[in-house]
Structure 1
């Protein structure tokens, strides 16, 4: 039901279903691309979006040809969009708020190409915006954290101070305080969607300051690694890590992007 993302600028391409299959059946092949802020194996936001892409391939078969660009930094998004348009892609999904400027500019420059901006704002004739009501799930996740904490201190490892993330943190805190009025939520900003080393340090500092529940608002499981090492509870984001972190796992807000992409 939810998500958020951003990373380094290393491009990776995966050409999914062969366009020739659609051509043989007499159908026009639609070329669809995804731009992802993290690697497709981040175990979170970018993984979830890539699973949605694979669901599109499975559902439409030879009628679509898909590709993805992973680990794209915000500042590199505009050039990636330009390259995809030149390669003939009909529909381009930008799966990060930080890709907005590049997508908006491209939508004005290329009116015959369709764009979608995850977590974005200000849609236009050929650019849609999409997201899930993540704050609803974050409220419930916060309830689990509020019920679990004994120190009444919850630590939240957060990516960027942008509206979607602030909304999620507020919902999480309200959920925690709905079951435990004494619960507090301390936030450490990493200023990255996917930076395992910085996320680890943030989680360690929160635990050192008394937090006995760690919340994760970024794309990877690094805060969960620290929680497991320190023996404190963890609420994740974007993926179900209950099997990998069974001893400390509480719950997480999840998205199934296939429901939207198909």
Structure 2
């Protein structure tokens, strides 16, 4: 997820209200959503707009690596442009330049593209638009994101298994629902391996700020954490973990690339697993985007895990993979009975947390300690 919001911004509340699971039923070019779906005029020609540099080490690089796989699967080259900020004045020219060259499928990669992509979709009703981590949807527009609480639950299990002290640290960006659900899931996974595990989280207030991430990781290690998790965009927490001789778990990509002696597990994106079949649906015609956006599980392309080469026994890996299979088979992480750290019931026995409640999650499970 990418945005420049800081905790307490009114924009954060706007974001929650406009989540993928808010009721977004739009019309395109004054015509209501057709029952027969959307069909391209001519063969598919795909372009991608990147939020950051393609080699940023995290979020954008995961999309670029998926692009290479998609090209191979579909047998065509995909145009792309890098470092397009979350501003309509930058997004529109980039998209329209591709469209003028014949692109009829445009893929975005940022939350902050949401409103502009909606405007573009209405202006160009014969072009299909997809947007990673977006919130707007329509007849020819679909936003998509993964259920990252699943993969962070599994990395939390790895952290709980690798920790000797039971004290885990977590460097996070902002206390939004999509971050809080990873923090909570991380602690819940850790408790599967060590019932006494705790997770102390520090929010940096930014998705990409290596200086703040370094300071947060150092502070957590100084407080006794011997495994550092993360939901920020750079590999800095993993690099600090390696420098300080502790373990870590990564986010976005396999961050053992940057810290091979520290990173035991990473929650990775597998965008190609979603985008390849979705692009094939668009090419086939009569495409019907999910009305509230695509919110994918592990088998649907919502992400997966990658083990590093250190810190975990084969027995621990087997337990984690067994839980991974259980999730694939339908296990829900946020199943009741579940209470928050104040003892308030959040999910009653026999129920699971709704998607709407996931997106607005503003509470923590027992064992999570929050700091600023």
Q: 5+ unaligned residues in a row in structure 1: which ranges? A: 8-26
The answer to whether the 8 Å contact 2:59/2:252 transfers is yes
The answer to whether the 8 Å contact 1:48/1:239 transfers is yes
Match of 2:162 among 148, 161, 167: 148
Q: 1:198-243: per-residue Cα shift (whole Å, max 9, x none)?
A: 2112211222222211112122211111111111110001222335
Q: Distance in 1 between matches of 2:199 and 2:48?
A: 34
Higher-Rg member (1/2): 2
The number of aligned residues is: 236
SS at match of 2:255: coil
| 1:79 equivalent in structure 2 | 89
Matches within 5 A, 1:175-214: 175-214=189-228
* 1:67 is the counterpart of 2:83: no
Mark the CA change 1:85 to 1:245 in structure 2 (over 3 Å): closer, same or farther. closer
Q: Distance in 1 between matches of 2:66 and 2:89?
A: 24
Give, in angstroms, the shift of residue 65 of structure 1: 4.3
The answer to whether the 8 Å contact 1:238/1:255 transfers is yes
Match of 2:113 among 96, 99, 102: 99
SS at match of 1:39: coil
Q: Distance in 1 between matches of 2:112 and 2:131?
A: 9
Give, in angstroms, the shift of residue 136 of structure 1: 1.2
SS at match of 1:33: strand
* 1:54 is the counterpart of 2:68: yes
The answer to whether the 8 Å contact 1:142/1:175 transfers is yes
The answer to whether the 8 Å contact 2:91/2:113 transfers is no
User: What's the TM-score once normalised by structure 1's chain length?
Assistant: 0.80
Mark the CA change 1:239 to 1:85 in structure 2 (over 3 Å): closer, same or farther. closer
SS at match of 1:154: strand
Match of 1:255 among 262, 266, 269: 269
Match of 1:36 among 50, 55, 71: 50
Q: Distance in 1 between matches of 2:258 and 2:209?
A: 20
